[in-house]
Amino acid sequence: LIIFNENTPVDSVQGQVWYWASVCMYEMQQYKSAEKYGLKSLPLLHDDETKADCLNLIGCIYVRLGDFDQAAAYTKQCLDIDMRSGDDDRISSSLNTLAGIYMAAYQPKEAEVYIIKAIEHADKAQNPARKAILLGMASEIYHALGNDTISLQYADQSYELEKVIGNEHRSAIRLSQKASALIGLHRYSEAEQTLETVIPTLRQCGDKHSLAIACNKMGMSLLCQEREKEAI
């Protein structure tokens, strides 16, 4: 719980409440509301760590809204704060967000630079949950670069970590990333079998964004097997 004492300035309370409202709206995939609360919160946050968290969050929100220039600008401000802190876990998170932004902007070569650095810092931090996320991002990046053998290796490593952690939702996302690599390697039936386990899990979790991506991949794997009616 976040507890405020009686002497806490009103703007500090507002900054915290609006920040957490932004977090909640982002998790609910209501990105315009998340943007509104995040921007209201940012100027009222004076602690470097909380300010960096908010900058990272706003960067992620702008990715979902498709404004990649704004996303990169806010996330680079977050990275500057994290680099000054020397916290490898936080540095790896910011680098991963930047990699994701450049991926979303169809610039995988730029994304590759950030994800390699992010993995190096995650190894220093010894955070398996963070490492799983980074390996998943690396899988997506190398798939975009056309190197699906490496992409598959990263996806498998990421999935194995998620299984150990026990996160069913994220495990499904890692399998979806694996399916991309399998499609790139022309292993269409394997991709189909993988996605058959992914889609029900994502539907149950309510992650519409990832579900849409997985369904699109399933359509592609079926089309590549000349099963047009099923693909539709």
**Contact (Cβ atoms closer than 8 angstroms) between residue 22 and residue 37:** yes
Cα separation, 87 vs 51, in Å, equals 15
Per-residue model confidence as pLDDT tens digits over 21-61: 999 999 999 999 999 999 999 999 988 999 999 999 999 99
CA distances in angstroms from 219 to 93, 111, 137, 174, listed in the order given: 32, 27, 22, 18
Please give the pLDDT value at position 8.
Answer: 87
- Look-up: residue for tokens 């315009």? 32
Q: How far apart are the first and last CA of the chain?
A: 48
pLDDT-derived band at 1 (thresholds 50, 70, 90) equals confident
Least confident interval from 2-16, 94-108, 185-199: 2-16
Q: What is the pLDDT of residues 148-196, one digit of tens each?
A: 999 999 999 999 999 999 989 999 999 999 999 999 999 999 999 999 9
Q: What six digits make up the tokens of 45? A: 């946050």
Reduced to 3 states (helix: H, G, I; strand: E, B; else coil), residue 145 is: coil
Question: How many whole angstroms separate alpha carbon 165 and alpha carbon 142?
Answer: 24
Chain centroid to CA 215: how far?
18
Q: What percent of the chain shows pLDDT beyond 90?
A: 91
The closest of 59, 93, 92, 103 to 77, measured between CA atoms, is 59
